[in-house]
Amino acid sequence: MSAPLGKVYLVGAGPGAQDLITLRGARLLARADVVLHDALVTDEMLALCPQALLIGVGKRCGQLSTAQAFINKQLVDAANKYALVVRLKGGDPMLFGRADEELRALEEAGIEVEVVPGITTALAAAAATKQPLTKRGVARSVAFFTSSTAPAHPDHVAIPDTDTLVQYMGGREAIVTAERLLAQGRRADTPVVVIENCSRPDQRIVRLTLATLAHGLSAAHGPVLVMLGDALKLREHQADDAGALEPVPGRLSA
C-alpha cells in the first residue's frame, strides 16, 4: 500500500473573530487544499481559504451533527487525496476539541499530523470583558469544564473547588452548575459573567450573581461561556459592559 499523500494540520480557529486566529493558522489556511471545519467557524474565517475545498463537519449539541468516526474517516481519506489538509476547530484543538480521537485515527493510518494552537474562548472572554481569571490575593486557580461533564445529579462528583470556574458550552447546564455550587456552599453573591458569541459582532455579555444564575437567563442564540468566581467582580472604576442577555425567570437555552 502506498504512503499517504498529505499531511494534516489540526488548527485552532480561536473564539470566532477572523483576526484572532494565529498568523501560522492563517498561513496554513491560505495554502490548504481542503479544510474540514467546525459548525462554529465563521464565514469570515473561511474567507481566508478561498482556494480550498470546504467540508463542514460540525458537531452541535442537540442538533444534527457529523459522527466523530465519520470525521476521522474523512480526515484519513483527505490525506490520501490532498497534500495539505486542515482540520479547523473553534478555539484550541487540544481543549474540548476531540483532538485525541482524531490524532489517534491519523496516527493509526500512518498520516503525518501537526497541531497549531488557537486562542481558547475562556481567554478571549476574559479579554473581551477586561476581567482577568486570576487575581493576586483573590484567585490563583482556574478550572475549565464543559456542560457535557457538568454534574447533573446528586450522586455525581462535586464541581472542583477552584477559585475561578469557566464552563464551556454553558447553555441550560449553567443553571445546574449554579444550583450545585450553592449547595456546596459557594456564596450567593459570587460574581458571574455570561458571554454569548464571544469576539463576534453579535457578542453579548451579562453580569449577575450565582443566585440569579440559578434562577435562569433569557434565551441565547449562540455559543455561551460562563465564568464564575470572585476574580470576576467589577473593579471600582470599571464600566459595566452588560449586554442584552438579561436575567429573567426560566432557563437558558443555547
**pLDDT tens figures, 205-227:** 999 999 999 998 766 778 899 99
| Residue among 120, 108, 122, 96 nearest 228 (CA) | 122
If one compares 29 and 159, the residue with the highest pLDDT of the two is 29
pLDDT at 250 over 50: no
SS3 state of residue 6: coil
**7 labelled catalytic:** no
Choose, from 7, 19, 43, 59, the residue flagged as catalytic: 59
Average pLDDT over residues 27-48: 96
> pTM, whole model, 2 decimals?
0.86
224-228, strands of its sheet edge to edge: 142-146, 164-168, 224-228, 191-196, 204-209
CA distance 190 to 236: 17
| Cell reading at 160 | 472542583
**38 labelled catalytic:** yes
Instruction: Give, in order, the Cα–Cα distances in Å from 133 to each of 103, 118, 127, 148.
Output: 30, 18, 10, 22
Choose, from 7, 19, 33, 38, the residue flagged as catalytic: 38
CA distance 203 to 129: 11
Q: What are the structural domains of the chain?
A: 7-116 (3.40.1010.10), 121-232 (3.30.950.10)
